[in-house]
Structure 1
Amino acid sequence: MLFRLFIILLFVIFYSIYFGKLHFLKGKQIKAVHLGQGKLYSKEKIAQQFMSGIAFSLVLYQIYKLFFDYHVDNRFYTLGIVIIILGIVIFGLSVSEMKDSWRVGFEKSDRTTLITKGIYAYSRNPAYLGFFLFNCGYLFLIGDAMMVLLILVDTLSLHYLVLSEEKHLRKMFQKEYDTYYKKTRRYL
């Protein structure tokens, strides 16, 4: 029972960081989530709407597994917990260091600052890396075929989003982004 509560606590911490940051930015009149909205090409818009649906499905499935169909694979418990905590730390650092420039997706008219310091000196996309690690940790704990499928599709969708964000950042920051792109890896 304590292990289950600990896993639920980690889940709450992760999503508190996410929704807390959204709330903080909303208080500053900044819209941080732009998935499938605004002036996007139809292919990008459809892909982002699909990604939103997959991400939401994954969260719902994790909640279902935690509260209604809880079975932990004890062989991988420690590994799963370590990966989840690593994902939370990386995600938390990335969201914190982005300050007011943090976005999920992009709006072509948005003007932000290119962040290249801190954790962004090692990864161009640490928030997405944190999401991936968080989900993989849960996979080690409560994984089944549906979880594998959702995480795989979510990861591919996030990668597509990263590629479209990179195009946007290259147009927006030009040489500054090209220099950053060349010296910093996409994920790790």
Structure 2
Amino acid sequence: MFSLSPDWAGIFEMILILLVILIGYSIAEYFLQKHFHPDTTDRSSFLITPEYCFAFGVGILEFLVESIIFPSKSKLGNKCSIFGLIGMTIGLAIRFSAILHAGKSFTHRLAFRKEPEHKLITTGIYRYIRHPSYLGFLIFAISSQIYLTNPIAIIGFYVRLSIFFRQRIDIEERYLLKFFPEYEKYRKETRTWMILLF
């Protein structure tokens, strides 16, 4: 089990791939916001917050520690890494298709007043999933920890994201009901597909 000579090349490769994916994700988020909201896009549109950096930093730290103890963990191509990469791809596909379909109606910031460009989107991916961008990010984030085979971080990410999305959805839906009376019917008929704690 414990090895005095961990596979540093494998460890580096796994971390590098994750960092490239995370950087690509942040750049895509920024440019999608820039495309639909050029006047309000700023550095925060990269979605790189201290909490985000801390979470992924802890995930990478867990991976490093466990890779030293269990060297086989750091092999790209193991079942967890492949499953995690597939999950990250699916999560990002869901998130980005939600953003592209909603267009100007999608923002990173909660809207507390209805703007003329705001429309209730119930077609495309929204026909099947309520809050698909949140579901996509949840799948992406948890899959990133599956990719690293991080049992502790998988649980930590799930608990923290459950709290975050539960609070955010509660606030967002309160305003969606004010802006769009027909949202009540949509909410009853369309699931989030997220199993959130709390």
Superposition TM-score tier, normalisation by shorter sequence: 0.7 to 0.9
Unmatched 5+ residue regions in structure 2?
1-9, 68-72
Aligned equivalent of 1:80: 84
Determine which structure has greater relative contact order: mean sequence separation of CA pairs < 8 Å that are 6+ residues apart, divided by chain length. Answer: 1
1:19–1:155 Cα change, 3 Å: farther
Residues 54 and 154, structure 1, Cα contact 8 Å, conserved in 2: no
* Equivalences for residues 129-148 of structure 1 within 5 A: 129-142=135-148, 143-146=150-153, 148=155
Residues 33 and 103, structure 1, Cα contact 8 Å, conserved in 2: no
Distance 2:93 2:61 in 1: 23
Aligned equivalent of 1:57: 54
| Equivalent position to 2:164, from 150, 153, 157 | 157
Matching residue's letter, 1:152: V
1:7–1:59 Cα change, 3 Å: closer
- Count of aligned pairs: 168
Distance 1:75 1:119 in 2: 29
1:17 maps to 2:23: no
TM-superposed deviation, 1:30? 4.0
Distance 1:68 1:61 in 2: 10
Residues 87 and 133, structure 1, Cα contact 8 Å, conserved in 2: yes
Aligned equivalent of 1:183: 189
Distance 2:129 2:43 in 1: 21
Unmatched 5+ residue regions in structure 1?
35-51
Distance 2:94 2:61 in 1: 24
Identity, in percent, stands at: 19
Distance 2:121 2:40 in 1: 17
Give the structure-1-normalised TM-score: 0.73
Give the structure-2-normalised TM-score: 0.70
Matching residue's letter, 1:57: F
1:93 maps to 2:90: no
Matching residue's letter, 1:155: S
| Equivalent position to 1:166, from 163, 168, 173 | 173
Residues 25 and 31, structure 1, Cα contact 8 Å, conserved in 2: no
